[in-house]
Amino acid sequence: MRTEELDFCLPPELIAQTPAPRREQSRLMVVRPGSAAAEHRLVADLPGLLRRGDLLVLNDTRVLPARFYGQRVGTGGAVEGLYLDSIRPDIWHIMLKTGGQPRCGERVRLDEHHALELLEKRPDGTWLARLHGPLETHALLEAIGVMPLPPYIERDAAQRQRWANLDRERYQTVYARHAGAIAAPTAGLHLTPELLDLLAGHGVQIARLTLHVGAGTFAPVRTATIEEHEMHSERFTVPAATLEALVSARREARRIIPIGTTCVRAIESLPENLNPAADFSSQTRLLIQPGFTFRFTDGLMTNFHLPRSTLLALVAARIGLQRLQELYRQAIEQRYRFYSYGDAMLILPD
């Protein structure tokens, strides 16, 4: 598949910079099988759009406040960093941005009691660094970090401070449980406890899994074809109860509707021979594009994605490239809000 087929021109003002005042009041483009025209609804309308017996799959990963700011001990230069993961409890894998050229062995002061010692610069430009200080990683990030909003959400220093509390609340799903993501599973940002209760009351089954979303999820495809793109890896766990729900829904011909592309990647990465008696954990590098055969994904709720992205290729695999292009054209005409803090699309199954 040619990457240019996933390109489109988006007016900058349609890139959502802040969330909707209320989660469930985000707009929802509803795509039905066999209908060329999309419906324009709200996420709050979900109970009337889904059926009794539908299975929704949610990603309950919790976003870490993984962006941090520090100062180079030797030069006093300002540093902006992004925590990616830990190689060991005291060894961080990070991205750094600074005006100078950091060197192995130098330290970055995070606060009065904590510093990072730079150990090794990797070929991809990221660093390994040793954490010095009394707090463990997650506790320290909660104390000093800010939410790792993607770069298309622009905040200057004053705006970061003004919006800090809102971003901590709204760049997180209401059902976030297991910390480890550095990007939000954005389709789930629209759901509220009250809406989930309404869905359950209408007979919609809800199951959960955990996929820790990494920085690579938003990376644009820079190769000429999607197939040439080196897909990022993400850790996921599907609990036994969710495996059983998936197997039962398939056996009973009930519809499975993941909330977000991260859920799709997790459930479509499951092995052929499932053991619903035990949790399943693994890493996935699954690249989904047109021609892919879905085993557990009938419908999908998802946000509007970046051009030339693997996320867009996944949606094209579900509804077809030509239809995807037409729906995005309609979304731009109808002034939908795009990307992480933007509106959503609900693709209903046959």
Q: Does the pLDDT at position 36 exceed 80?
A: no
Residues pairing with 350 in the sheet: none
pTM as predicted: 0.95
Strand duo 107-109 + 127-132: pairing: unpaired
Q: Does the pLDDT at position 74 exceed 90?
A: no
pLDDT tier for residue 242 given thresholds of 50, 70 and 90: very high
Task: Supply the Cα-derived Rg of the chain in whole angstroms.
Answer: 21
CB of 202 within 8 A of CB of 52?
yes
Q: How many angstroms separate the CA atoms of 348 and 257, rounded? A: 8
Strand stretches in the chain, DSSP E:
27-31, 39-42, 55-59, 61-63, 67-72, 78-88, 91-98, 107-109, 115-121, 127-132, 178-181, 205-211, 234-238, 256-258, 280-284, 300-303, 344-347
What pLDDT sits at residue 34? Answer: 79
Say if 3-63+170-347 and 67-145 have the same CATH topology.
Answer: no
Can you give 84-120 as a three-state secondary structure string? EEEEECCEEEEEEEECCCCCCCCEEECCCCCEEEEEE
Residue carrying structure tokens 């988006």: 10
Mean pLDDT for the chain? 95
CATH superfamily membership of 3-63+170-347: QueA-like (3.40.1780.10)
From the list 27, 24, 26, 9, the residue with the least C-alpha distance to 334 is 27
Q: How many angstroms separate the CA atoms of 137 and 228, rounded? A: 35
What pLDDT sits at residue 92? Answer: 98
What pLDDT sits at residue 217? Answer: 75
Q: What percent of the chain has pLDDT above 90?
A: 90
Q: What is the pLDDT of residues 123-134, one digit of tens each?
A: 989 999 999 999
Q: Does the pLDDT at position 219 exceed 80?
A: no
Rounded average pLDDT over 64-84: 95
Q: What is the pLDDT of residues 98-115, one digit of tens each?
A: 988 999 999 999 999 999
Q: Where are the domains of the chain?
A: 3-63+170-347, 67-145
For helices 321-333 and 310-319, the axis angle rounded to 10 degrees is 110
Q: How many angstroms separate the CA atoms of 171 and 186, rounded? A: 8
- The tokens for 331 are 């979304």
CB of 258 within 8 A of CB of 307?
no
Phi then psi dihedrals of residue 38, to 5 deg: -85, 150
Strand duo 344-347 + 27-31: pairing: parallel
Q: How many angstroms separate the CA atoms of 277 and 170, rounded? A: 35
Q: Does the pLDDT at position 33 exceed 90?
A: no
Rounded average pLDDT over 13-38: 94
Q: What is the pLDDT of residues 248-295, one digit of tens each?
A: 999 999 999 999 999 999 999 999 988 899 999 999 999 999 999 999
> 256-291 b/e with 16+ CB inside 10 Å = b?
bbbbbbbbbbbbbbbeeebebeeebeeebebbbbbe
Q: Provide the 3-class DSSP secondary structure of residue 71.
A: strand
CB of 80 within 8 A of CB of 67?
yes
The domain over range 67-145 is classified in CATH as 3.40.50.970: no
CB of 192 within 8 A of CB of 24?
yes
What pLDDT sits at residue 120? Answer: 97
What pLDDT sits at residue 321? Answer: 95
